[in-house]
Amino acid sequence: MRNEGAVTAITAKRLTLALCAAGVIGGAVGALAVNHNNVAAETAAAAAPAPAAAPAPAVAAAAPAATVTLPDFTRIASQNGKAVVNIRVMGGMKTANRGNMPQIPPGHPLYEFFRQFQDPRFGGGREAPAPVFGAGSGFIVSPDGVILTNAHVVQGADEVTVKLQDRREFRAKVLGADPRTDVAVLKIDAKNLPTVPLGQSRSLLVGEWVLAIGSPYGLESTVTAGVVSATGRSLQDGVVPFIQTDVAVNPGNSGGPLFNTRGEVVGINSQIYSQTGGYQGLSFAIPIDVAVKIKDQIVATGKAQHAKLGVNVQEVGQAFADSFRLDSPEGALVSSVERGSPAERAGLKSGDVIRRVNGKPIVSYGDLSSIIALSRPGERASLDVWRDGKLVRIDATLGDANEKAKRAPQEELAQSSDGGAKLGLALRPLEPIERRQSGIATGLVIEDAAGAAAMAGVEPGDVLISINGRPVNSVEQVRDVMGKASKSVALLIQRGDAKIFIPVRIG
């Protein structure tokens, strides 16, 4: 499955998703507690007797003010911080992201720290010599030295060193790294190490307090806190349903733990959304449920496996929902099916809208990517698919994501003629030489686009394959489908080597 999105280096200057590697880790103590109580204080003074007066009317006693207590993170920081480690890597120029280093003048207490990371600005503008260094964070999940971190922290590393909070250092072995989920597993030769308790990220609620421990810009034992902003965020290729928080995460936090208020790890801090490379209020963590699944595979086999269905999908917006007569703009719209894939063998077609997988609702197309990619090859997937105005059940046996994709099949040749005025399209049949050169066996060439179709993004030279999931090989078929359409239609367009759906509003 292909989805849009990209992750760039932490030094990016434009608005981007940024990996947050380059730091150390430890434990810190911080306390937040606010108690609001009514305080009454009065001073008695001697007074001469006074004439009796009428009794004052009774006044109801004021109710005590409610007590509001913020979470106390000191216990988490002092106890679980002992299992958070600093990871230093050394390698070639492809070693893990080194972060966006600030301008540090000579003599500053942090000058030596940033100099060791080979920032070219410390070499008078010359290119940093090899080897180069990077840094990140991690946390111990078993007493015999198994450590979780981000894959991008150790990417390209020739040597990995783990430093514990008690200042001991160990050479670490990378048991395996999975770039698709950005999870890596390390092992150090040590016993009876402190560990962190693991929670369940699927139980997280939006608005819940969370805490991160890390070393942003080398400032060790930094504790930051915030709330869960959202769950199930689909970024990049949609494999990981990220936890979004407003916890301050910066270069150096990568691979470090995200705790809930019970002191359980619920995520691995991985990315930030930033214009500057620094924190701007949007941080993303890999759910611990995902990380543990990948960790178990790596420990057992040295690698992680991912399943595939063999479809390209698009988001279902309101225009597509109207076109396909859906009750809500939810699901994953299949734009093309890979030849020989599990999807083709199961009978999936372009124009199908996948609404559920194994009973789990597909709201966004990223939900489908996550469910399939986090499954294993050979597992069965039960799909609820919207086709021709009704739901059908399709069962598929998932394949291996490492298998190479094959070219999508082409429809059989059919005759067509020009038309399509309601869409604003001038259409003609494919010439034999065009079919041979493009590999497209059926459809109508769009010679000109105007009106609603042009506004939707249809271009001259595109090939119209289907409307609302129905193949069109002649103008009569186009008119028949358009005569039954109301608000909008979904055009399947072949543009170059890609097939895409384009919604066109017509009413």
Going from N- to C-terminal start, the domains of the chain cover 1-31+69-304, 307-400, 421-505
pLDDT for the residue 55: 55
Please identify which of the residues 137, 152, 364, 462 carries the catalytic annotation. 152
Q: What is the pLDDT of residues 376-411, one digit of tens each?
A: 999 999 999 999 899 999 999 999 998 766 543 333
- Pairing type for strands 16-19 and 7-8 reads parallel
pLDDT for the residue 422: 65
Residue ranges in 99-188 assigned as alpha helix (H): 111-115, 151-154
Burial zone of 316 (CB within 10 Å; 0-12 exposed, 13-18 middle, 19+ buried): buried
Query: 227-244 as b/e, with b when 16 or more CB fall inside 10 Å?
Result: ebbebbbbbbbbbbbbbb
Please identify which of the residues 119, 178, 182, 352 carries the catalytic annotation. 182
To the query of whether residue 144 is one of the catalytic residues in this protein, the response is no
pLDDT for the residue 460: 86
What is the overall mean pLDDT for the chain?
79
Which of 295-299, 312-316, 364-368, 489-493 has the highest mean predicted lDDT (pLDDT)?
Answer: 295-299
pLDDT higher than threshold 60 for residue 128: no
The least confident of 43-57, 63-77, 281-295, 396-410 is: 43-57
Q: Give the span between the Cα atoms of 353 and 381, in whole angstroms.
A: 15
To the query of whether residue 152 is one of the catalytic residues in this protein, the response is yes
pLDDT band at 26 (very low <50, low <70, confident <90, very high): very low
Q: Give the span between the Cα atoms of 389 and 43, in whole angstroms.
A: 80
pLDDT for the residue 243: 97
Q: Give the span between the Cα atoms of 128 and 282, in whole angstroms.
A: 31
- Architecture, CATH, for domain 421-505: Roll (2.30)
Q: Which residues contact 274 (CB under 8 A, 6 or more apart)?
A: 12, 15, 16, 18, 280, 282
Please identify which of the residues 201, 254, 270, 283 carries the catalytic annotation. 254
CB 385 within 8 A of CB 368: no
Q: Is 307-400 in the same CATH topology as 1-31+69-304?
A: no
The top-level CATH class assigned to 1-31+69-304 is: mainly beta
Any idea how long the chain is?
507
pLDDT for the residue 151: 95
- How many angstroms separate the most distant Cα atoms in the chain? 118
CB 336 within 8 A of CB 499: yes
Q: Give the span between the Cα atoms of 315 and 469, in whole angstroms.
A: 15
Q: What is the pLDDT of residues 196-241, one digit of tens each?
A: 999 999 999 999 999 999 877 777 778 999 999 999 998 866 799 9
pLDDT for the residue 3: 42
The least confident of 86-95, 136-145, 411-420 is: 411-420
The least confident of 88-102, 215-229, 349-363, 442-456 is: 88-102
What is the CATH number assigned to the segment(s) 307-400? Answer: 2.30.42.10
Write the DSSP symbol of residue 108: S
Q: What is the pLDDT of residues 330-357, one digit of tens each?
A: 999 998 888 899 999 999 998 999 999 9
What's the mean pLDDT in 469-498? 83
**What are the beta bridge partners of residue 268?**
286
The least confident of 19-28, 426-435, 453-462 is: 19-28
